Amino acid sequence: MTSTYAFETAEAGSELFRGERPGYIYGRTRNPTQALLEARLASLEGGEAGLAVASGMGAISATMWTLLSAGDSVVIDRILYGNTFAFFTKGLTRFGVNVRLADFTDPDALAQALAADDKTKLVYFETPANPNLRVIDIARISLLAKSAGALAIVDNTFATPILQNPLKLGADLVVHSATKYLGGHGDPLGGAVVGSSALIERIRGTGLRALTGATLSPLNAFLILRGLKTLEVRMERHSRSAQQIAEFIERHPLVSHVAYPGLKSFPQYELAQRQMRQPGGLIAFELEGGVEAGMAFMNRLELVVRAVSLGDAETLVQHPTSMTHATYSADERKRHGISDNLLRLSVGLENVEDLMADIAQALDHVHASKRKAD
């Protein structure tokens, strides 16, 4: 817990600043606790190096400010976390970066977007995507990016390195909101980027040190290290419980649609089976009766918590249109396939029978009220 570091000699301090010897200078760019976390994240993802920062958005912004300049172009998938979508489409564009959207579940659409602009420096996507859990073929998209001379960057927050390793499938960089599953307890904020040593040192020296200052505190680094100790067993529990709950709610008469990579009805089920070790802890679903039914369902829950974020020990539910994805306009949501009555459930570590009982009573109550009104 320090902001600055003592030099053995004045000459040693000068050598550190010139990069002639390893060591610590100032807490904004490197801390011993942070360094240990970075090494473990790199090991888990199969990367050469990692960079831990203050938040997931800090990881994305530090990376983009490092790799992009005015006049460059990027192609992003049409479905992203709301603040990520806003950063690309409303933030980067203010500084002369051209941002194009494509449906990455259709590789031909990305190929066309890349062919249309030879200034494309990178492609960016999430898989599974927030909030509707679309799964994207990492190997195929990464190959297309490389053939166009662009980097492939994947947000692996939903899957974690336990369930999926984008770098091993051809991606150049992986970003995380470590606030979610990596921390796992809903208490620290943090983010991470993992990739080659050369890229990570560029992002540390430019994006973190000079442009964003998105420094992860030593205490939060410690808390995320604590979370990594149980990450594998937690992801197994999240996935197992979510599979049971997804199968359960898919059968309920009030539920009109369920998106979960572990269901055979999921459009990219076969891809998820090849690319992911387990289907994860998030479920997206829609209810008959639209937004009103969804709000009534959430308000009826007793054990499940109404809150944004995900990956906590507690089960969380939220309404993306009015919450995490409110940064999309109504027209953008319609064009990009984010339904107004979509709900997102992050399945926690509670007893699964207790969770299903709570979800069942809420669904049954709204269904009975709807039938009575009809």
Alpha-helical runs (H) found in the chain: 10-18, 32-45, 56-67, 82-86, 107-115, 138-147, 160-163, 197-202, 218-228, 231-250, 269-275, 290-300, 330-336, 352-373
**266 & 346 share domain:** yes
Among 40, 81, 134, 333, which one carries the catalytic annotation?
81
- 28 given a catalytic annotation: yes
Residue 276, token pair as written in the block: 């992911």
CATH number of the domain encompassing residue 282: 3.90.1150.10
Q: Look-up: residue for tokens 């009766």? A: 289
DSSP state of 94: G
Tens digit of each residue's pLDDT (9 = 90 or more) over 233-283: 999 999 999 999 999 999 999 999 999 999 999 999 999 999 999 999 999
Among 137, 155, 172, 312, which one carries the catalytic annotation?
155
**269 & 206 share domain:** no
Low-confidence ranges of the chain (pLDDT < 70): none
Among 5, 26, 28, 100, which one carries the catalytic annotation?
28
Domain that holds residue 77: 31-228
**39 & 162 share domain:** yes
**133 & 191 share domain:** yes
Domain stop point among 228, 251, 280: 228
**194 & 281 share domain:** no
Measured distance CA(47)–CA(195) in Å, rounded: 5
In a domain, 9, yes or no: no
Residue 140, token pair as written in the block: 């195929």
**208 & 251 share domain:** no
Tens digit of each residue's pLDDT (9 = 90 or more) over 5-17: 999 999 999 999 9
Measured distance CA(48)–CA(42) in Å, rounded: 6
In a domain, 246, yes or no: yes
- 134 given a catalytic annotation: no
- 370 given a catalytic annotation: no
Q: How many domains, the chain?
A: 2
Q: Mapping DSSP to helix (H, G, I), strand (E, B) and coil, where does residue 64 land?
A: helix
- 168 given a catalytic annotation: no
In a domain, 349, yes or no: yes
**Considering the entire predicted model, what is its pTM?**
0.94
Among 134, 180, 234, 333, which one carries the catalytic annotation?
180
Domain stop point among 228, 243, 272: 228
Residue 307 has φ and ψ, to the nearest 5°, of -165, 150
